[in-house]
Structure 1
Amino acid sequence: MTDGKFALYISIASLVTFLIVAIYGNQNRVETHKPVLEPSAPISFTNAKTIPIPERIDLAGEKVPLEIADVKERLDKELHINSYWHNNTIFLFKRASRWFPVIEPILEKNGIPNDFKYLALIESGLENVDSYAGAAGFWQILKSTGREYGLEINRDVDERYHPVLSTEAACKYLNRSYDKFGNWTLVAASYNRGMRGMQNALDHQQVDNYYDLKLNDETSRYVFRILAIKQIFESPEDYGLNIDQEHLYKPYTYRYDTVRNSTDWVEYAKEQKTTYKTLRIYNPWIQDEDIRVGRNEYYVMSLPDRD
């Protein structure tokens, strides 16, 4: 075969190969670019929109100065965060339905404004959680603070998790803070920053109110988080939340029993016709499977109502 014929055969073979690749490659390309959605399938987008700021809002009857630009913007931010954080905010409504009926009468009895129930809500979401700093329970109380305000905290018992006793302890702190500041907004901020920390900030910056202070990010947001949750709870529909009352958690119904002797909680639960798990749900302050009860001591146990 001459060099010319060989070159011709190579050219023809190359052309055939190119045509085969082009034809099949194009078929594959068409196949892989079929629409992912059928033509009739709808495409939806989140209907996100800006949220109006209320013309007036207060904390415990104390007016928030919305005429100050940064005050209005800080409230604006927290309203948007909580309005669009749907799963979290919905569960705040659910748990509040169970626990606000417990908390509200204790606040009233101790002379604490009802708005402070929202402080517990932003602190813990009304769950018995622990913080990295060692705070615990609905009111996120430190061990030292809890003991200072009368809570029992040891191997067997941690009353920071007791919904009634921890609320009583929080009320003592809030009243003491009000005696110091005479202003509920500063009381709320001091729950986050501490009374000494708030007083130092006021003295150093030579102002007399929360809204004129330059604070760390957490305390700067703290009161506005309370205000935003209060506003959303009072007018949920205005913030895009359709809260079906049937879906909210019902308050527990209780009966009570007094324990005066050291007890194995698993056996005790069986005697009370319940389970250890249920006993812990109704008494989250229990810390172990047994308890040592000293002389002249006793514990009041919350149990599911048999009715």
Structure 2
Amino acid sequence: MRRILLLLPYVGIIALGSYTYYQLKEIKLKEQEFVEYTELPQGNTVNAIAIDLPDTLSFAGEPVPMNIPDVRERLDREMHINAYWHTNTIFLLKRAHRWLPQIARVLKEEGIPDDFKFVPAIEGAFKNDISPKSAIGFWQFRKDAAREFGLEVSSQVDERYDPIKSTRAASKYLRKAYERFGNWTLVAASFNRGRSGIIRAMDNQKVDNYYDLMLNDETSRYVFRILAAKEILVHPHRYGFEVPDELLYNIEPVKYVTVSEAVDNWVDWSQQQGINYKLLKRHNPWIQSRSLKVSRGKEYLIAIPLNNE
């Protein structure tokens, strides 16, 4: 019995050693499986490469001070986000082909610098998005601001959804803001934060330059997001985006029908024009109800696609 008791510790050590050996062997096998599973064959790996920033950049003819370290870093962030957000940027390029020329034309007519055509790219990616704060459309107007700058907003009509009319309304805001700031970069920042917000920040910090202001995160990023959108949309090949012309979204030709009387049912009206309700809404997203009341002297232009498919 004494011999057995003396042998028990050795037996325990041997058993523990055997258990540890097999446990370590199992871990090693699992590690081997993990490596085999996660390692891609050579030639199929995807490399993320840091992007070189442009040596010079401007917004609306105003130079970006690339010599300031935090300016470079803020631009660097937005460039990398957009360059590696592949799905979003590809569809941005596709939609931009349709909408940038139309927005640029309106801005030119209104005397607004061409670079502002990139604002809808960052506001809603050239879509009629609705924000959590109920800002709507390409230019993300809230209801009161939309009415202030001439857009009709009601239960039947919401012109914030009209990319062309909302661009004209945005132009009125931008022109008014420029009268106050005399600087287009500050005007762009104010489109995000509001004129009073930028004025208050300038007064409190005793500076008059966007790049010298300490602002909330959203407004601090805002102009740099516009700059990144501009750079990538103008030079997509530099950043690895290859979208053949035949895959871009084209402007869809339409004709316009004037409506000066009430429409009882848009579905019936659409069919009378040789289209369906879906196509009516696609080309006139500002229509918000199934019928329309028209005030005396009021007229609406309804876009009808020439290709009815």
Cα separation, 1, equivalents of 2:164 and 2:155: 20
Tell me the SS of whatever aligns to 1:257.
Answer: strand
Query: What is the Cα-based RMSD across aligned positions, in Å?
Result: 2.3
TM-score (norm 2): 0.86
Cα separation, 1, equivalents of 2:155 and 2:65: 47
- 1:275 maps to what in 2? 276
- Which amino acid is 1:218 matched to? E
Question: Superposed, which structure 2 residues align to 1:168-179 within 5 Å?
Answer: 168-179=168-179
Question: Superposed, which structure 2 residues align to 1:1-307 within 5 Å?
Answer: 44-263=44-263, 264-306=265-307
- Structure 1 residues 69 and 36 mapped into 2: Cα distance closer, same or farther (>3 Å)? closer
Identity between Structure 1 and Structure 2 (%): 49
Is this contact kept in 2: 1:110–1:171, CA < 8 A? yes
- Structure 1 residues 180 and 41 mapped into 2: Cα distance closer, same or farther (>3 Å)? closer
Alignment deviations for residues 257-306 of structure 1 (CA, whole Å, 9 cap, x no partner): 01111111000000011010110000000001111112222211001015
Cα separation, 1, equivalents of 2:231 and 2:43: 33
Alignment deviations for residues 69-96 of structure 1 (CA, whole Å, 9 cap, x no partner): 0000000111011000011011111111
Which has the higher Rg, Structure 1 or Structure 2?
1
Cα separation, 2, equivalents of 1:244 and 1:280: 29
Cα separation, 2, equivalents of 1:140 and 1:242: 29
Alignment deviations for residues 108-164 of structure 1 (CA, whole Å, 9 cap, x no partner): 011111100111110010101111111100000010001001111001000001111
Tell me the SS of whatever aligns to 1:256.
Answer: strand
Cα separation, 2, equivalents of 1:226 and 1:298: 36
Is this contact kept in 2: 1:101–1:251, CA < 8 A? no
Cα separation, 1, equivalents of 2:208 and 2:42: 56
Consecutive unaligned residues of structure 2, counting only runs of 5 or more, are 1-21
Alignment deviations for residues 172-224 of structure 1 (CA, whole Å, 9 cap, x no partner): 00000001100000000000000000000000000010000001110000000
Q: CA deviation at 1:242?
A: 1.4
- 2:16 maps to what in 1? none
- Structure 1 residues 172 and 214 mapped into 2: Cα distance closer, same or farther (>3 Å)? same
Cα separation, 2, equivalents of 1:115 and 1:41: 44
Cα separation, 2, equivalents of 1:162 and 1:204: 38
Cα separation, 1, equivalents of 2:149 and 2:123: 18
Consecutive unaligned residues of structure 1, counting only runs of 5 or more, are 1-21
Is this contact kept in 2: 1:178–1:184, CA < 8 A? yes
Is this contact kept in 2: 1:60–1:115, CA < 8 A? yes
Q: What count of residue pairs does the alignment treat as equivalent?
A: 279
